[in-house]
Amino acid sequence: MADRLKAAVLGATGLVGQRFVYLLSRHPWFQLYAVTASERRVGKRYGETVEWYIDEPFPEEAAELEIRPTRADALRDVDLVFVALPKEVAGEIELELARMGKIVVSNANVFRMEPDVPLLNPEANWEHIRLVEEQRRRRGWSGAIMKVPNCTTAVLTLSLKPLLDRYGLKEVYMTSMQAISGAGFSGVPGYAITDNILPFIKGEEEKVVRESRKILGKLEGSEVKHADFRVVATTTRVPVLDGHLESVVAKLSKTPGSLEEVLETWDTWKSMPQELRLPTAPEKPVVVRREPNRPQPRLDRKTGRGMSVVVGRATLPFEGEPLLRYMVLGHNTLRGAAGTGVLIAELYYRLIEQVF
Amino acid sequence: MADRLKAAVLGATGLVGQRFVYLLSRHPWFQLYAVTASERRVGKRYGETVEWYIDEPFPEEAAELEIRPTRADALRDVDLVFVALPKEVAGEIELELARMGKIVVSNANVFRMEPDVPLLNPEANWEHIRLVEEQRRRRGWSGAIMKVPNCTTAVLTLSLKPLLDRYGLKEVYMTSMQAISGAGFSGVPGYAITDNILPFIKGEEEKVVRESRKILGKLEGSEVKHADFRVVATTTRVPVLDGHLESVVAKLSKTPGSLEEVLETWDTWKSMPQELRLPTAPEKPVVVRREPNRPQPRLDRKTGRGMSVVVGRATLPFEGEPLLRYMVLGHNTLRGAAGTGVLIAELYYRLIEQVF
Amino acid sequence: MADRLKAAVLGATGLVGQRFVYLLSRHPWFQLYAVTASERRVGKRYGETVEWYIDEPFPEEAAELEIRPTRADALRDVDLVFVALPKEVAGEIELELARMGKIVVSNANVFRMEPDVPLLNPEANWEHIRLVEEQRRRRGWSGAIMKVPNCTTAVLTLSLKPLLDRYGLKEVYMTSMQAISGAGFSGVPGYAITDNILPFIKGEEEKVVRESRKILGKLEGSEVKHADFRVVATTTRVPVLDGHLESVVAKLSKTPGSLEEVLETWDTWKSMPQELRLPTAPEKPVVVRREPNRPQPRLDRKTGRGMSVVVGRATLPFEGEPLLRYMVLGHNTLRGAAGTGVLIAELYYRLIEQVF
Amino acid sequence: MADRLKAAVLGATGLVGQRFVYLLSRHPWFQLYAVTASERRVGKRYGETVEWYIDEPFPEEAAELEIRPTRADALRDVDLVFVALPKEVAGEIELELARMGKIVVSNANVFRMEPDVPLLNPEANWEHIRLVEEQRRRRGWSGAIMKVPNCTTAVLTLSLKPLLDRYGLKEVYMTSMQAISGAGFSGVPGYAITDNILPFIKGEEEKVVRESRKILGKLEGSEVKHADFRVVATTTRVPVLDGHLESVVAKLSKTPGSLEEVLETWDTWKSMPQELRLPTAPEKPVVVRREPNRPQPRLDRKTGRGMSVVVGRATLPFEGEPLLRYMVLGHNTLRGAAGTGVLIAELYYRLIEQVF
């Protein structure tokens, strides 16, 4: 087994950045080696400048890291880079890093729909990682850019994939109730969200529609043929700290034999990350709860260390028809961001580089 | 014009009861004349025993009313009765009161689906009030029992009625985000709902399905022919004090000419309560908001003194197809309970008794 | 009686600005005539650019006002100016406006401790308004700058003033639980305050200490002699939208005859604004609640249209000793900001200009 | 070392009961052996009947335990009993169990002030455990009843003890901001606490006053001489799930040399549970935070696995005077209930029985 690889986190003081820092601080393959943040923090120690507000203990091994500037030339000594930057500043540096030969796993909403950039929710579409080869060919670089999907889409597609495989998928009607942390630490004012719901999240619904079809598309040769089911997405913000809850109606192509069959399909589903025993892969990608009042964000968001999605309230409302109603919950900054980012990197090094 | 009629509120200390008390304390036709509560409060003055927790000033005229027992024989001197009791205790007393000749307007979930009991959301189905005549014929009483719909259904059907009339309605997929007050003052523990969503409300989804088809059904002779659109309802509880928000996808029978046409359809819709200028009728039953981030429960729930529903986020996601996506918000203890109760009584006295 | 005076609100789109706009939109003496906001909004109509999020209906008369730049030279045509700007930008423009002869009533935390600037909580220290004469003498201008106190201090001093007058005051220990709106619309992130308390508000405790002694000081000739009681203030932020709740222990100079005597002292206390029947003055500056579980922020913050403070939980813990424990609640953006601002202007025009 | 002792939890399905179950499920000395609950659950398996809502994973080893009735005769086969019952039902069964020779550690508010019942906050008053001998003598039983203090008092006294030892203590003014869980799962309605503070908790202030003086009293021979400092306590309920925050002003007998000296006094303080390395004892009973904005309930309540209290915001407001201001936070169902309960049992078996 190789030595631990040197990993950087760009935007390490934000909510997603902190999740990356925590996950890497205890990772068997990757070493938390460099952190970057905005200009005013450069040169300070991470432990001194970060306001640690996630629900994990602060990793003491991160305390002494010196904040680097968020520039490619400050990252020559690292192997891989996790990007938790706003999209406005992420694009340029990701390109530069890839040109420098770095492995870039990015949460930023840029390049996600580029045909040669894999948009990876590993259990749902691990084979898309082969796009990296096409990407290198086209772009002439030895690095790689791999993308984490939008958080809501990551949760949704994990629940849809086993349905698609077994029953086919025609239409999806989804209403989300998304956590505050999805907008970053300061993204939702307390005065706006207390005793309230915000019925609109800018750009979110479009992301769910287009990203879910790419993620659940088929890799054919060197391109992904997008799936052709239709999606109507309504996305809202609710007074919950972490965990996106989604209410789904799915029109399948084939009527399931029974509700129990659907539940078993989810419950027994495993994919490549489970087969490869990747360190961050949950035992079960989809956990089925049969009690009527689950999933609940506060009680269930940490299921599978935040890497499983939890499905509940499933019914087949009309007998003999391929219409399935259910709810799905996932941790938006773990399964929907940093956790999936780390899982993508694990998949890359195991499948492509084969170093672990 | 007649003298004010003597009105009683049964279950006057609960959340819905308090709304009734407030509305009646300033009503031009009805006089707040009697209040009942549970046994331990009987004989106390209302102002001394109630814990007033709604967002309206306490009506001083209610302070001196003596709490009566919740029994029919204690209500001989009243004309009409508003029922805000739990369903377990409501049924028997409602029957007795109707037999005594009283006009009973009830929020309790009992008798709602009886064929000769009108389930009234006045702007949507005011003509169903004629069922009272059938009811009297069948039951041989001179009183009447009229029912307020389930809160979620009241909000939903008000937004659906103009769509049904103009475009026809085939399927409705609805996900609700319901306020805490929907479960009564003590119905949702603070520990359960803080930083959380409860994905299940017992019995609620069934009510939405069956009541919406009765409300939007056609009165043919002496019975209501239920509407035949299909409903899939997913109902949840969110950390909001008042105001149910509902995310809707409606498959219409006919494709609207444009989104603007749909918005105009809602915006210009008026019904009998508006024509009759009933005191509690809002100027507009459906208020359309065109900003992307409305309706919001805290900001919009009091629209039309809580008697309008507010529609927003409407789109026609697939060009040329009769599929409409929107959100609708309504105040669950006003439009969804006490306000609609008072509006029903107004409709009755104007249309049936013709005393005002 | 004079015509209505032309009033401007500086910073009219923020939380306190919106309160000013609402109060002026229905004011008998002042006309809402001009509004200013940040550069990017200049030239737009108020109704189009403001995100109205306070719990009052949007005043349609404000909709058509054109946003002006926040500069003195854009305000030549107004009589009086209400300032709801951050302190960083307020100072310079307030000076310019006063030099131009304008009456400036400001909520901004600048100049509050200047000896010739009255810091006014009208019922507590209306006579300090005479400092305006000294201010004009010293500064050679015909305008005036008058200051609204810090919100927490405004609430506290209103409850202390009747105690000070009757019993004298030696020490005050105060712990506040302050609403989110005290930090402005975006001042407290939802992620920070959900399921949490922030135990620190920058600069707040110092303001309480120094401002309470100035407000409760004595005007002697042309200067205010600060009161000499001691204050220990601990200020915190809690998940409440509006309404600051304060837990107080006061060491008095003289032992009250009884708790009842203290309650009566508060309850019967009136001051100059009540005598003058100023339009914004509440009937009672201090409302006493005798139930054990009051005051509650959500239920009591609008008492006296948000201009009364509500006192409860009073006890004399040690018999025969001049130690009083109580809680006091006040609406932080009404009594603690815009409401008191308007009341100050009323006091000025009645007592100094004597135009109404 | 002895075999693990057989432990029962009475009232095992409530919030404190669940904490006991979790702590015992992984305890080196005690085996989670029996659980009781209310009549309707008797005979069911714990895993099937409990609604698990604390923020720890459900301990699978508890799933199969059969719920026993809450009666002494159903507990003959256990060694020690942890009581998480309401006080109304706790007293009788505790007496019976002690007579049967059982070791009873109880969270219930009954017998706490009996002179021969130790009220134990182990780091603060471990030596009071000797009262068990007096209790056995007086009552003639071989069992024992030991009491966990009121949660607010447990947090407060842990912060006071090092101050008392070094500086002496004259007066304490304390305002608490207490978590919802302090009232049990259903104790605080969501409608009551959202966007609100409840300024009153029945009986709480009296408990703080009397229990803190017993806990910090001196064991002299076979009785505890209560401490004689004075306490004014104001206790409130805030919208926080777990963690009581307390704002304290303490008048000491002796002026500290410096604030730093006070901080060091807390920071370096250890007591018998630390010396004995009891399994549940935190490394530091009092953790000092020097950042201005700590302690925060959500971020700090799990410090020391919920068994440390966290002190912050300390100042000496008046130079040269023995007046100390600070805030202290503790986990109310761990340090304030179940955690302290388990720690008491550990202390007992180590010091009195000396079996571990």
Q: Are residues C106 and C177 in the same domain?
A: no
A301-317 per-position pLDDT tens digit: 999 999 999 999 999 99
Counting every residue written for chain B, the total comes to 356
Write the CATH number for A73. 3.40.50.720
pLDDT band of residue A255 (cuts 50, 70, 90) is: very high
Torsion, CA D274, CA D277, CA D280, CA D284, rounded to 10: 30
Q: Do C239 and D238 touch (CB under 8 A)?
A: yes
Identify each DSSP E strand in A113-243 by its residue range.
144-147, 169-178, 218-220, 223-225, 230-237
Structure tokens at A76: 């020559």
Interface chains of chain C (3 or more CB pairs under 8 Å): A, B, D
Residues of chain D found within 8 Å of residue A195, distances taken between Cβ atoms? 194-195
Please tell me which residue of chain B has the smallest CA distance to D181: B191
Same domain, B166 and B308: yes
Q: Give the span between the Cα atoms of A331 and C282, in whole angstroms.
A: 49
Distance of CA A62 to the CA centre of its chain: 23
- Number of compact structural domains in chain A: 2
**Is the per-residue pLDDT at B1 higher than 80?**
no
* Chain A residues in contact with chain B using a Cβ-Cβ cutoff of 8 Å: 173, 175, 177, 194-200, 202, 230, 232, 234, 236, 238-241, 245, 247, 249, 292-299, 312-313, 317-318, 323, 325, 327
Q: Which residues of chain D make contact with A303, given a CB cutoff of 8 A?
A: none
Q: What average pLDDT does this structure show over D106-132? A: 98
Statement: residue D1 has pLDDT above 60: no
Question: What is the mean predicted confidence (pLDDT) over D91-111?
Answer: 98
Q: Which pLDDT does position D3 carry in this prediction? A: 86
Average pLDDT of B72-85? 98
Give the span between the Cα atoms of C264 and C254, in whole angstroms. Answer: 16
Q: Given an 8 Å threshold on Cβ–Cβ distance, is B292 in contact with A241?
A: no
Mutate to test the interface with D, among B15, B52, B180, B191 (most CBs of D within 10 A): B191
pLDDT of residue D2: 64
Contact call for residues A245 and A236 (beta carbons, < 8 A): no
Q: How far apart are CA A90 and CA B53, in angstroms?
A: 50
Residues of chain B that touch chain C, judged by Cβ-Cβ distance less than 8 Å? 52-53, 55, 194-195, 298-299
Residues D95, D168 within the same domain: no
* pLDDT above 60: residue A28: yes
Interchain pair D195, C240: CB under 8 A: yes
Verify that C33 and C126 share a domain, yes or no.
yes
CB pairs under 8 A between B and C: 10
User: Which residues of chain A have a CB within 8 Å of the CB of B295?
Assistant: 199
**Tens place of pLDDT for every residue, chain C, 356 residues?**
568 999 999 999 999 999 999 999 999 999 999 999 999 999 999 999 999 999 999 999 999 999 999 999 999 999 999 999 999 999 999 999 999 999 999 999 999 999 999 999 999 999 999 999 999 999 999 999 999 999 999 999 999 999 999 999 999 999 999 999 999 999 999 999 999 999 999 999 999 999 999 999 999 999 999 999 999 999 999 999 999 999 999 999 999 999 999 999 999 999 999 999 999 999 999 999 999 999 999 999 999 999 999 999 999 999 999 999 999 999 999 999 999 999 999 999 999 999 98
Task: Give D176→chain C minimum CA distance, Å.
Answer: 9
Query: Locate tokens 């500069």: which residue?
Result: C71
Q: Measured between CA atoms, how close is C182 to chain A, in angstroms?
A: 10
H-helix or E-strand spanning residue C138: helix C131-139
Co-location of C244 and C172 in the same domain: yes
**Region A313-340: what's the mean pLDDT?**
98
Active site residue A128: no
Q: Which residue of C has its CA nearest to D231?
A: C317
Q: How many residues does chain C have?
A: 356
d(CA A257, nearest CA chain B) in Å: 20
Neighbours of D166 (CB within 10 A): 17
Q: Can you list the positions of beta strands (E) in chain D?
A: 5-10, 30-37, 67-69, 80-83, 103-106, 144-147, 169-178, 218-220, 223-225, 230-237, 244-252, 286-288, 309-315, 323-330
**Is residue A157 located within the same domain as residue A283?**
yes
Please list, in sequence order, all residues whose beta carbon lies within 8 angstroms of the beta carbon of residue B53, skipping any fewer than 6 positions away: B15, B18, B185, C299, D191, D192
* pLDDT at res. C1: 52
Evaluate if residue A161 carries a pLDDT over 70.
yes
Residues A287 and A141 in one domain: no
Q: Choose the catalytic residue: A27, A128, A244, A331.
A: A244
Residues with Cβ within 8 Å of C182's Cβ and at least 6 positions away in sequence, in order, are: C151, C152, C201, C237, C244, C332, C333, C336
Q: Which of B177, B195, B198 sits opposite A197 (nearest CB)?
A: B177
pLDDT in tens, D314-344: 999 999 999 999 999 999 999 999 999 999 9
pLDDT for position B2: 64
Q: Residue A133: count other Cβ atoms within 10 Å of its Cβ.
A: 13
Does C87 share its domain with C198?
no
Rounded to the nearest angstrom, the minimum Cα separation between B51 and chain C is 10
Structure tokens at C98: 């006063």
Distance CA B127, CA B117 (A): 13
Whether a cis peptide bond, with omega within 30° of 0, leads into A295 is: yes
In chain D, which residues touch C (CB < 8 A)? Answer: 173, 175, 177, 194-200, 202, 230, 232, 234, 236, 238-241, 245, 247, 249, 292-299, 312-313, 317-318, 323, 325, 327
On whether the CB atoms of residues C323 and D232 are closer than 8 A, the answer is yes
Please give the torsion angle defined by the CA atoms of residues A189, A192, A194 and A196, in that order, rounded to the nearest 10 degrees.
Answer: -140
pTM equals: 0.97
Residue D27 annotated in active site: no
Rounded average pLDDT over A149-157: 98
B247 to chain A: nearest residue by CA?
A175
Which of A15, A180, A195 has the CB atom closest to C241's CB atom? A195
| B242: CATH | 3.30.360.10
Contact list in D for residue B194 (CB cut-off 8 A) is 180, 190, 193-194, 239-241
Predicted pLDDT of residue A3? 86
Reported confidence tier of residue A170, pLDDT bands at 50, 70, 90: very high
Residue by residue, DSSP assigns C254-313 as: S--S-HHHHHHHHHT---HHHHTT-TT--S-SEEE--STT---HHHHTTGGGGTSEEEEE
In contact, D17 and D91? CB cutoff 8 Å: no
| Contact in structure between B226 and B214 (CB atoms under 8 Å) | yes
Q: Is D209 helix (H, G, I), strand (E, B) or coil?
A: helix
In degrees and rounded to multiples of 5, residue D138 shows phi and psi of -60, -45
For residues D319 and D342, membership in a common domain is answered with: no
Residue of C nearest to A15 (CA): C191
Tell me which amino acid residue B138 is: R
* CA-based nearest residue in chain A for residue B295: A199
Percent of chain B past pLDDT 70, that is, above it, reads 99
Which of C200, C232, C239 lies closest to D249 in CB terms? Answer: C232
Residue contact C245–D197, C-beta within 8 A: yes
Q: What is the mean pLDDT of residues D253-260?
A: 98
Which residue range is the domain that position D301 belongs to? Answer: 151-331
For residues D269 and D162, the answer to whether their CB atoms sit within 8 Å is yes
Residue D169: pLDDT above 70?
Answer: yes
D270 exposed, middle or buried (CB, 10 Å; 0-12, 13-18, 19+)? Answer: middle
Q: Averaged over B314-340, what is the pLDDT? A: 98
Quickly list H helices, C181-230. 190-193, 204-215
pLDDT band at B3 (very low <50, low <70, confident <90, very high): confident
Chain B residues inside the 8 Å CB shell of A238: 177, 197, 238-239
Residues A124 and A184 in one domain: no
Q: Output the CA torsion sign for C194, C195, C199, C204.
A: positive
Does B146 share its domain with B163? no
Do the Cβ atoms of D299 and A53 come within 8 Å?
Answer: yes
Distance CA C92, CA C95 (A): 5
pLDDT at A2: 64
Contact, C247 vs C97, CB < 8 A? no
Helix then strand then coil, in percent of chain B rounded to 5, is: 35, 25, 40
**What's the CA dihedral at C58, C60, C62, C63 to 10 degrees?**
100
How far, in Å, CA of A231 to CA of A299, rounded?
Answer: 28
> Are the Cβ atoms of D190 and B195 closer than 8 angstroms?
no
Same domain, B126 and B235: no
Those residues of chain B whose CB sits closer than 8 Å to some CB in chain D are 15, 53, 180-181, 185-195, 239-241
Tell me whether residues C299 and B195 touch, CB distance under 8 A. no
Interface contact flag, B198 A327, Cβ < 8 Å: no
The distance of C300 to chain A (nearest Cα, Å) reads 17
Residue of B nearest to C55 (CA): B299
